[in-house]
Amino acid sequence: MAMRARPVPMLFLSGPPGVGKTTVAWEMFGRLVDSGHWPAFVDLDLLGACWPVPEDDPYNERMKARNLAAMWQNYRAAGARCVLAAGVIESRDRLALYAGAVPNAVPVLCRLRAGRQELAARIDRRGRERGADLDKLTRRAAHLSAQLERDDIEDFCVETDGRGVPEVARDAVKEWLRLAGDVGGP
């Protein structure tokens, strides 16, 4: 009789630019490690940082999924049992593309939410450090925020306005553990 492969819980943190996806994911990673879980962390934007991009895939989603598949093999060999992924997930099809890169994945999508003014303020603070096109990024954040609110594809949502990163991460971990059960450890 063949052994059934262990499920791989995956939490995707999604939301518009400036909402804190990567920062919250790092905090969650630390909390999971401290509580005896064995997580891996990926920033989906970095997995697709390659130029040129195909005309039919302007956000390099297929490249991100291929890189995630390759990285998961290494993470799994090192002992990781679950995955945190930070990036913009705009549809269930994109979620399925990424989840399909990890055998036996059990994906859960968390949308981080912030108000329009808070997003603009965060982008402004971040942009001063990097010299980004703040107006373009702020417009993209507002548009994407409205789209994600309208499409409502997430499994759960965590508010970030007026809250610190540790509090947001705590709530996201708590809800993920409630939905996913065991997310991996010894």
pLDDT tens sequence for the chain (186 residues): 555 678 999 999 999 988 999 999 999 999 999 988 899 999 999 999 989 999 999 999 999 999 999 999 999 999 999 999 999 999 999 999 999 999 999 999 999 999 888 888 888 887 655 556 777 778 888 888 888 888 889 999 999 999 999 999 999 999 998 888 767 655
Contact in structure between 27 and 33 (CB atoms under 8 Å): no
Task: Confirm whether 41 is domain-assigned.
Answer: yes
Task: Confirm whether 185 is domain-assigned.
Answer: no
Task: Confirm whether 186 is domain-assigned.
Answer: no
User: What are residue 157's phi and psi, to 5 degrees?
Assistant: -130, 145
Euclidean distance between CA atoms 95 and 110, whole angstroms: 11
Task: Confirm whether 36 is domain-assigned.
Answer: yes
Q: How many domains would you assign to the chain?
A: 1
Q: Give the pLDDT score at 104.
A: 93
Euclidean distance between CA atoms 140 and 145, whole angstroms: 8
Task: Confirm whether 184 is domain-assigned.
Answer: no
CATH code of residue 150: 3.40.50.300
DSSP letter for 11, please.
E
Task: Confirm whether 1 is domain-assigned.
Answer: no
Note down the domain range covering 42: 8-179
Among 26, 61, 58, 34, smallest CA distance to 47 is for 61
Q: Give the pLDDT score at 119.
A: 84
Q: Give the pLDDT score at 184.
A: 65
Among 182, 184, 183, 168, smallest CA distance to 28 is for 168
Task: Confirm whether 13 is domain-assigned.
Answer: yes
Euclidean distance between CA atoms 18 and 139, whole angstroms: 11
